[in-house]
Structure 1
Amino acid sequence: MPSSASSSVPSSVWRDSDFRRLWAGQSASQLGEHATLVVLPLVAVLTLHAGAGELGVLRAVGQAPILLLSLLAGAWVDRWRARTVMVLTDAVRAVVLGAAAVAGLLGLLGLPALFVVAFTVGALSVLFDVAYQASLVGLVRRDQLLAGNSALEGSRSAAQIGGPALGGALVSLLSAPVAVASGAFFFVVSFVSLRQIRRAEAVPEHHERASWIRDGLRFVAGHPLLRAVCLASAAFQFFLAATMTVYLLFLPRELHLTGATIGLALAATGPGALLGSVLAARLPGRYGHGVVLVSAAVLGNGALLWVPALHGSSAVTVPALLAVNFVFGTFGQLVNVTVMSVRQAVTPDGMQGRAAATITFAGMGLTPLGSLLGGVLAQEWGLRTGLLVAAAGMMLSPAVMAASPLVRLGRRLPP
C-alpha cells in the first residue's frame, strides 16, 4: 500500500514529517478497523459456532454506528480538535480489543461480549474516519490538500479491501484471542504515530450542528454526480454486507475449507487492491472516468457470482476463490479510487468534510440492514442460494452508474 499511495503524491508532501506521521497513523488505524470487521465475525463462526442469524446480528451491530452517528460525528468533530479525537479513539479501541483478547484467553468471551466490542469499535471508527479528513486541512498547505487527500484516501480504499484479507489471515494463523489482540496492535501503532505530530492544532470555531448537517445533505443531494455516487455506493455497500455475511458462512460450512485456507482466499484481495491502485492512475485518463467506473464495477462485482457455483474443497475450488478475490480486489479498488477523485474534483474545499460525511452516511448507512438480510437469506434460502441472490444484488451498483451522469464523465474531470 505505501508504494501505491506514494507514487501519486508529490515529494513535497512526503518531505513534511508531520504529514508522514498522520499518513502512517491513519493507515495503521484503517488496517486495524477493517481487519477487525472480519476478525470478530470469524471468531464468532469458528470459535463460538455462531449461526447465520447470530452472525448477521453481530455484523449489523458493528455497522450500526455508521447509520446512527455518521452525520452527528461530522458536527462533533467540527467542534473539537480533530487530532485529539483521533488519538482518543485509537486508545479506547486498543483497550477494548485488548480486553476482549484477555477475556478470550480466559474462556470468558461470548457472543454478548462480541456485540459490545463490535458496536464500540464501530462507533469510535466513525469518529476517527471523520476526524482524519478534517485534520489534514490544518496540517498541510492549501495547494497540497489534493495530494494529501489522495494519499489518505488511497490508504483507506486499500484497507477496505486488504483489511478483511488481513483479518482472515490473522484468524487462520493465530488463535482467536491473539487475532483480536493483533487488531489492537494497529490502533496502538496509530496512537503512537499521531502523538508524535509536532505542529500545534488550532481550536476549531463552533458551528451550529444542525446547519452543518443540513448544508452537507443539501449540497450532495443537489449535485447530480455526487447524488449518483451516493445511490451507487448505497446499493453496493448494502448488498456487499449481505454477501459477506453469507460468504463467511459459505466457505467453512458449504465448501468445508479450513481457517488457513479461508485466510489465504481472502488475502488474494490484497495484491488485487495494489494492482487496482496502479490502474486507477492510468485507465481513467486514457479511457474516461465514466467508462472505467461502470466497467470496473461490472467486472469486480460480477466476479462474486462465480462463488456459489463452487463445490467442495477440490483442487479447483481454492485457485478459483483466489482468482475471484483477486479480481474483486483489483476492480473494487479501481472503483474506490476513481470515485474518490470524482468527489474531490467536484467538491469545493470548504465542503470536503461535509460531503465526505454525507456520502459515508448514504453509502454505508444501510450496511447493518444488509448484514441482517444476509443472515436471513442464509437461514431461509440456504447458503448457496442466499449467496447467489446477495451477489446478484451487487450488480445494481453499476446499473445505477450506467443510468446516471457518471457514465458520461470523460478523461478530464469537471471543475
Structure 2
Amino acid sequence: MSRSEGGDAAPGVVDGTGSDGAQRDGASRSLWRDGNFLTMWSGQALAQLGSQVTELAIPVLAVLLLQASELELGFLNAAGVAAFLVVGLPAGAWIDRMRKRHVMIWADAVRALALAALPLLWWLGALEMWHLYAVALVVGVATVFFDVSYQSIIPSLVRSEQIAEANGKLEATRELANIAGPAAGGWLVAALSAPFAILATVGTYVASFVALLLTRDDEEPRTADDRGPILREIGEGLRWVFGNPLLLRIVGTTASSNLFATVSFTLLPLFLLRELGLSPEAMGIIFSLGAIGGLAGAIATPHVVRRIGEARAIPASAIAFSAIACLLPLAATVPPIAFGLLVVQGFVSSFTVLVYNITQVTFRQRITPRRLLGRMNASVRFCVWGVMPIGALLAGALGTWLGVVPTMWIGAAGQLLAAAFVVIGPFWRMRQLPDAEPASGAGS
C-alpha cells in the first residue's frame, strides 16, 4: 500500500542561488553535478532506507513478539501519525519563522534517540506496547517538523527551473529505498530480531543529521516585522490552500484516499502474517517488489506528463491507484496466487501514486509564494495526513468487530470512491496546470 501523499520535495517559484550567494551555472546543469544538493540527497537516501526498515520491524515486533491485537495495532498506527492532526498546523507557522535545515537537524536527532530506546528496553526485558505507542508519538512529532521543512527547503538549494528535477530525483531515491528497505528489513528482522533491526534506522538518521550539518542553504529567516499572531499565520496558510479550486480538489482526493488506505495499511501486518501465514521475509519481499513500481513511476512521470498533459495525469493516476486497491483483500480469496496479486497491487499502486504525487506536488510548489511554503505544506499535510490517525483507530475498531479481511474490503471500497474529487472536475478539459501569478514570485 502506498499513501497518496508521499514524501514531497519542496515548493518554490523564485530563482534560487547557491548558499554562498553565487548564481548557479546555467539552467541546464544537472543536479548530479551540484555537490551541495548531493550532500543533502545522500543523507536523505540513507534516512529513507532506514525508515523502511523500521516501518516493517516495528509492526513485526508488535505482532510476533508482543502479540498485538487489531485494536492495539490501530492505537500504534494512530500514535505514529497523530502529530499531523495535533501539531501539523502550528508547526507550519513556526517553521516559516525558522531555518528549515536547522529544524530538520533537530528532528533527526530526536528520532534517532527515541528509536534507540526500543532495543534497549527489549534487551532489559521491559518492552511493552505502551512503549511502542510513546516512541511512535515522539517520532511522529519530529517527523511532522522534518517533513514540512523538507517539503519547503528545496528553493533555497536549487534554481526554480530545477525544482521538478529535484522532485523527480528525491522521489526516485525514496522509491529505491522502498525497494531495498523492506527486503533488508525482513532480512535484518530474521537475522537480528526486530528490536535490533531498528538500530539500523537509528544509524541512518544519524547519517542524515551529519549530512544536513554539512549542507549549505541561502535561506534567510523572516524578519520580526513580517510575523503576525500565530493563529493569523495559520489561517493565511489554510486560506491559500482552500482558496485554489484545483488544489482543493487534489486535497479532497488525497485526504479521502489516505483515510481509507490507512484502514487497510493498519491491519496489513495481521493480514500478511496471520491471515495469509507469510513470514516477515516474505512480507519484506512483497513490499520491495511492489516498490519497483514507484521507481518506474518516478522515471516515467515526465513522459506521462508530456504525452497526456500535466492536468490529465492527476485524474488518470488517481483512477488507477484507487481501483488497484481492490486486489489487496482479493488476495485472501485466492491463497495459491496471493503472493503474486500482492506484488502486482503494490507495483501498480506505487507507480500511479508516484505519477500523482510528483505532478500535484510540483504544481503546488510552483504556485506558492516562498514565504508561505511551510504553512502551505503544513496545511496540506494537516488535511491529507491528519485523517490517518482516524483511519487507524477506525481500522482497529472495525477489525475487532468484523475481522481483518472485511475491514480490508471496506478500505478498498473507500479508496475506489476517493478519486471522484479529481475525476469529476476541470482537469480533463486542461492540458497544463496554471503557473503562479506574477505577483507571487517575489516570495515576500
TM-score by length of 1: 0.89
Does 1:195 find its partner at 2:213? Answer: yes
- C-alpha spacing 1:307/1:129, structure 2 compared with 1 (3 Å): closer
3-state DSSP of counterpart to 1:217 = helix
3-state DSSP of counterpart to 1:305 = helix
Q: Partners of 1:312 and 1:397 in 2: how far apart?
A: 24
Does 1:291 find its partner at 2:309? Answer: no
3-state DSSP of counterpart to 1:122 = helix
Does 1:77 find its partner at 2:64? Answer: no
Equivalent residue for 2:142?
A: 124
Q: Partners of 1:182 and 1:332 in 2: how far apart?
A: 27
Which is bigger in relative contact order (C-alpha 8 A, separation at least 6)?
2
Does 1:387 find its partner at 2:408? Answer: yes
1:349 Cα deviation (Å)? Answer: 4.1
Q: 1:310 aligns with which of 319, 331, 349?
A: 331
Note the alpha carbon deviations across 1:369-405, whole angstroms, 9 max, x for none: 0011111221111111111111111112211211233
1:303 Cα deviation (Å)? Answer: 2.0
1:142 Cα deviation (Å)? Answer: 5.0
Note the alpha carbon deviations across 1:184-221, whole angstroms, 9 max, x for none: 12201101211222567645434222232111111111
- C-alpha spacing 1:317/1:137, structure 2 compared with 1 (3 Å): closer
Letter in 1 for 2:316: S
1:170 Cα deviation (Å)? Answer: 4.6
1:287 Cα deviation (Å)? Answer: 1.2
Bigger mean CA deviation after superposition, 264-273 or 367-376? 264-273
8 A Cα contact 1:271 1:326, kept in partner: yes
Q: Partners of 2:334 and 2:67 in 1: how far apart?
A: 20
1:281 Cα deviation (Å)? Answer: 1.4
- C-alpha spacing 1:258/1:315, structure 2 compared with 1 (3 Å): same
Q: Partners of 2:246 and 2:360 in 1: how far apart?
A: 10
8 A Cα contact 1:172 1:262, kept in partner: no
Equivalent residue for 1:180?
A: 198
8 A Cα contact 1:162 1:273, kept in partner: no
Letter in 2 for 1:372: L
Letter in 2 for 1:20: L
Letter in 2 for 1:195: L
8 A Cα contact 2:179 2:292, kept in partner: no
8 A Cα contact 2:329 2:412, kept in partner: no
Equivalent residue for 1:377?
A: 398
Equivalent residue for 1:223?
A: 244
8 A Cα contact 1:82 1:135, kept in partner: yes
Once the two structures are aligned, what percentage of the paired residues are identical?
36
Equivalent residue for 1:328?
A: 349
1:150 Cα deviation (Å)? Answer: 4.8
1:21-170 matched pairs, under 5 angstroms: 21-33=39-51, 35-141=53-159, 144-152=162-170, 155=173, 167=185, 170=188
- C-alpha spacing 1:409/1:182, structure 2 compared with 1 (3 Å): farther
8 A Cα contact 2:53 2:198, kept in partner: no
3-state DSSP of counterpart to 2:419 = helix
3-state DSSP of counterpart to 1:282 = helix
Note the alpha carbon deviations across 1:218-238, whole angstroms, 9 max, x for none: 111110111111111110111
Note the alpha carbon deviations across 1:142-188, whole angstroms, 9 max, x for none: 55455445544555577679866765565455411122112212201
8 A Cα contact 2:168 2:298, kept in partner: no
Q: 1:276 aligns with which of 297, 315, 334?
A: 297
Q: Partners of 1:155 and 1:347 in 2: how far apart?
A: 25
Equivalent residue for 1:238?
A: 259
- C-alpha spacing 1:13/1:257, structure 2 compared with 1 (3 Å): closer
Bigger mean CA deviation after superposition, 113-122 or 211-220? 211-220
Consecutive unaligned residues of structure 1, counting only runs of 5 or more, are none
Q: Partners of 2:28 and 2:183 in 1: how far apart?
A: 29
- C-alpha spacing 1:161/1:52, structure 2 compared with 1 (3 Å): farther
Q: Partners of 1:162 and 1:66 in 2: how far apart?
A: 27
Q: Partners of 2:264 and 2:82 in 1: how far apart?
A: 17
Q: Partners of 1:406 and 1:354 in 2: how far apart?
A: 25
Equivalent residue for 1:408?
A: 429
Equivalent residue for 1:361?
A: 382
TM-score by length of 2: 0.83
8 A Cα contact 1:161 1:333, kept in partner: no
Equivalent residue for 1:300?
A: 321
Q: 2:287 aligns with which of 266, 283, 289?
A: 266
8 A Cα contact 1:228 1:405, kept in partner: no
3-state DSSP of counterpart to 2:66 = coil
Q: Partners of 1:200 and 1:222 in 2: how far apart?
A: 30
8 A Cα contact 1:36 1:183, kept in partner: yes
Count of aligned pairs: 407
Note the alpha carbon deviations across 1:74-95, whole angstroms, 9 max, x for none: 1222222222211111112111
Q: Partners of 1:385 and 1:370 in 2: how far apart?
A: 15
Q: CA RMSD in A?
A: 2.7
